Each structure stands twice: as structure tokens, then as C-alpha cells.
Structure 1
Amino acid sequence: MYKRLFLALIGVAALLSFSARGSDTPAYSLVLLTENYPPYNMAVDGKNFAQEDNIDGISVEVVREMFKRSGIGYSMTLRFPWERIYKLALEKNGYGVFSTVRTPEREKLFKWVGPIGPVDWVMLARDDSAITLDNLEQAEAYQVGAYKGDAVAESLIIKGFNPVLMLRDQDNPRKLVNGQIDLWATADPVGRYLARQEGITDLKTVLRFHSAELFLALNKGTPDEVVSRLQKSLDEMRAEGWVSKVLTRYQ
């Protein structure tokens, strides 16, 4: 009860600040966390830690413009691993994490702004692999690699899979070409982008099994007014064609 009261008081204070401050002063500020998930969010130097202007990608550009238009302040940090930053956004008021797939299991855990961009979930195999799949159930006969804490991995586990989980998704393409796993469950275009960074291009898609959208997930203590402002700005950006232009530049 005390926690709910505390969050409510924070929300009231934030709402009061919207009317009390001038238009040039951010009325509210959020700590935004992200990870290497190219081409949506990535460190300019490819490392697992970066801040502010050293972070680039589709979602990063969209989120920056969204906050600018909304008049809401933020700091942005890219760090590793995903499980850690996801947990911080889940537990700490004033935090948010992106790019996050909005699943039914996660729906009530956050407040959501989006969608930012689309992803497909795929099974990748080596080019010389004889594996063919007509449906997801057929993949259960193989050793499937996935990224620990990612929505793709979470979905497979719920469906009864026992995937080989890696702390870095970048390690999965190498395990695939080395024969340590038969299939790599990942997102498209993210997986192919990561593989190219590792010098691996001889992969093929053997199954496309889900389409999803990426969002900014905000801690539930975030004032509704903040969420509404951000969503309104994003909707305007999409209507103007701003988001489509960013997506096109990274294709």
C-alpha cells in the first residue's frame, strides 16, 4: 500500500511540474536503457557500453525525436546484458527500456509507447543445412540456440522448447556455423545484422514463425501524462512519414 501511495505522489508531483515549468525546461526526465540490437539500437563503436551520442540505430533516432517533441528530458545508456537492464526498468521508477517486444506476458508489467518498428521471428540455419521446416513444432527435433531473456527465447520456452541460451546473441551465429547448434531462433533483420558483424553471411531462413512490433517499455510508476505525451509525439511522427524515412535509411 505504501509503495502505491509513494508512486502516486511522484505522479502528482510530475503532473504539477508540467504546468509549473517553462516550455524550454524538461518537465520530467527518464533514464532510458538499451542494448546492442542492430539495426534498431547499437553502440557506434560496436562495444557493449555506450552513452548518449555514442548510440545509434532506428529506435534510437525515433526515441530521441519523440522525447524532443514531447519536451521530456532523458538520459540514454547502452549496456549489457539485456536481462539486467530489463530488470532495472521493471523495478525502478523513472526508468524505461527499448527496443522491447510487447508480448501478452509482459503487457501488465510496463506502460508502453509505440510501436517503433517491426521484427519477424525466424529460425536460421547454415546455407548447407538440409533442415526444412513447415511449422514451429518441427523445430523441436533440433538443437535451437537463442538469446537469454529475449522475447523470442521466452516464447519458445513457453511453448515447451529447451533452447540453448546465450548471454550475447552475437555468439549464436558462430555456434551455428560451428555445428554447436542446428538452428538459431532470432529476429529479422537483427539476426542477419549481428551475423554480418561477426563476418558470417552464409545463413538461410528456414522458418518465419511470428511477426512482432518493438516498443519503449516504461516503468509502471511513470505518470500517464508522460506516456500520453510521448505516444502523441510518436503518432504525429508516423503520420508525417518521419518514422518510415528512418526505417528506409537502415534497410
Structure 2
Amino acid sequence: MLSTLQRSLLVGLLFLSCSVRAGLPEDYQVVLLTENFPPFNMAVDEKNFARDDAIDGISADIVREVFKRAGIHYTLSLRFPWDRLYRLTQSKANYGLFSTTYTPEREPLFKWVGPLARSSWVLLAPPGSNLRLNSLEEAAGYKIGAYKNDAVSQYLESRKLAPANLLRDQENVAKLMKGEIDLWATTDPVGGFLAKQQGVSGLTTVLRFHEAELFLALNKDTPDEVVERLQKALEELRAEGFVDEVSQRYL
């Protein structure tokens, strides 16, 4: 039998639980957007449009479980190009985008949940290349291909480099192999995955120049309650080992 004090505490906890969630309407949901960015998020059939279970990858699996744990409804679709998804998430309330690289410049543009995963930024050359660089400054004399509005491209531009940006990062593989660009600025291990999908392997890493963290970026008008519940759920899953298990499954 519960004592009077125990019953009072239980009622209080139930009231607090209900009040914490009372700020969200019953039909509240987040519209999640992502792109082909293997192995973090990708269409199972490798096409440029997919929904729900037709999307997998490290970040996709983690985000699904985070929303489930937090008890927040969502829809999930994979589209392209990244530039459009990025701008859409900035302008639409209750929209979210992953895997989005966190940078100080982007910090005030979104609300953030993460990190979901970590990656590094690299300059790649064709297989067999003997080129090696010690800094980005040494890359100034080369033609660099990149992905429009991607954090890697934004970083290069902030360093006074002028990458040739494309709306489809996959196209940089063909341009690199044809000699139309000297170097491809991309994310490791994403670049290798995209290249293998097009039958290219053994690309040469000329320079590894930055370590990055990948997040879920939410529209700035997303309620703080949503952000807090999602972040708490992610931290719980990480403490339980789920995040590491998912990463090992793909890598």
C-alpha cells in the first residue's frame, strides 16, 4: 500500500509529466528532410527521392529512435538538392534537416540536436595521384569541386577559396576523373561511398583539414520543449550504447 506521502509524490509526478507535454498540440509533428549522404543518410534504392522506411543510414536510424523515445511525431523524406532543403528548413516552422554539419556561422540559423555523428573534411584527387598538400592555402592554385551550400564549401569560401559548386555532389566524381577539376572537397567517409556507387575506388586523400560534427538542425521557431525532449532522448540512447551500435553497423 502506498503511504499518503508516496501517493502525493506520485500525483505530483504525473501532474508534472502532463504539464511538461501540455505545451504541444496532439497533432504536432516535425517535417524531417534529408538527402543522400552515405553512410549517414541515404535512399535504400540510391535514388534521389524516398520516404520513411526507404531511408537508412547512421543518422537516419538514430533520428528515428530519438523521435520515438521523445514521443514526438514526424514525417521523413529524402530529396535533393541540399541547397533547397537547407533554405526550406530555415523558412518553414517545425521543419528539421539532417545530417547538418554544425559550424559557428550556422549556429544562430537553427536550433540544434546532436551530435548524431562525426566526420572529417578532405580534399580528394584521382587514384594514383602523388599530390600532397600541407594546408588549404596550398590548394589555392587548384580547381576544386564542391557541393553547393554544403558546410565544406562554405568553409572553403570563408577561407577565400572559390570552389566550383554543384547541386549534385555525385557529379564531382565524374568531373574529377575527367580532369575537369583537380580536387574534390568533400566529407569522409561520404566521398568514398559516393565514388564507389559510380564504380570509382582508391581516390587519393590529398589533405584532411577539418573535423566536424553532424546534427539535426531544426527551424528556429521550433518549440524549446521539442528541442529539449529530443536532446534528452539522444543522450539517453548514447548512454545506453545505441548510437555506437548503429555507427558500427554501417562502418
Structure-1-length-normalised TM-score: 0.90
Unaligned runs of 5+ in 2: 1-17
- Where does 1:24-35 land on structure 2 (aligned, <5 Å)? 28-35=28-35
Q: Supply the AA of the counterpart residue of 1:115.
A: P
Is this contact kept in 2: 1:18–1:27, CA < 8 A? no
Deviations 1:200-224 (A, max 9, x none): 0031111100000000000011110
For 1:82, the equivalent position in structure 2 comes to 82
Instruction: Give, in whole Å, the separation in 2 of the partners of 1:85 and 1:65.
Output: 22
Is 1:150 the equivalent of 2:150? yes
Q: CA deviation at 1:20?
A: 8.0
Is this contact kept in 2: 1:26–1:72, CA < 8 A? no
For 1:10, the equivalent position in structure 2 comes to none
Is this contact kept in 2: 1:26–1:71, CA < 8 A? no
Q: CA deviation at 1:76?
A: 0.3
The alignment-based identity, stated in percent, is: 58
For 1:65, the equivalent position in structure 2 comes to 65
For 1:94, the equivalent position in structure 2 comes to 94
Instruction: Give, in whole Å, the separation in 2 of the partners of 1:45 and 1:112.
Output: 29
For 1:12, the equivalent position in structure 2 comes to none
Q: CA deviation at 1:26?
A: 6.0
Q: CA deviation at 1:97?
A: 0.5
Is this contact kept in 2: 1:32–1:76, CA < 8 A? yes
Is 1:185 the equivalent of 2:167? no
Is 1:123 the equivalent of 2:126? no
Instruction: Give, in whole Å, the separation in 2 of the partners of 1:59 and 1:134.
Output: 31
Deviations 1:31-84 (A, max 9, x none): 000000000000111111111111111000000000000000000010011011
For 2:217, the equivalent position in structure 1 comes to 217
Instruction: Give, in whole Å, the separation in 1 of the partners of 2:113 and 2:30.
Output: 13
Is this contact kept in 2: 1:30–1:74, CA < 8 A? yes
Q: Supply the AA of the counterpart residue of 1:82.
A: W
Instruction: Give, in whole Å, the separation in 2 of the partners of 1:189 and 1:82.
Output: 18
Instruction: Give, in whole Å, the separation in 2 of the partners of 1:137 and 1:179.
Output: 21
Is this contact kept in 2: 1:26–1:73, CA < 8 A? no
Instruction: Give, in whole Å, the separation in 2 of the partners of 1:196 and 1:101.
Output: 23
Is this contact kept in 1: 2:29–2:94, CA < 8 A? yes
Structure-2-length-normalised TM-score: 0.90
Instruction: Give, in whole Å, the separation in 1 of the partners of 2:97 and 2:110.
Output: 10
Instruction: Give, in whole Å, the separation in 1 of the partners of 2:94 and 2:20.
Output: 15
For 1:18, the equivalent position in structure 2 comes to 21
Q: Larger Cα Rg: Structure 1 or Structure 2?
A: 2
Superposed CA RMSD? 1.7
* Paired residues, number: 234
Is this contact kept in 2: 1:96–1:219, CA < 8 A? yes
For 2:171, the equivalent position in structure 1 comes to 171
Deviations 1:215-235 (A, max 9, x none): 000001111011000000000
Q: CA deviation at 1:17?
A: 8.8
Q: Supply the AA of the counterpart residue of 1:122.
A: V
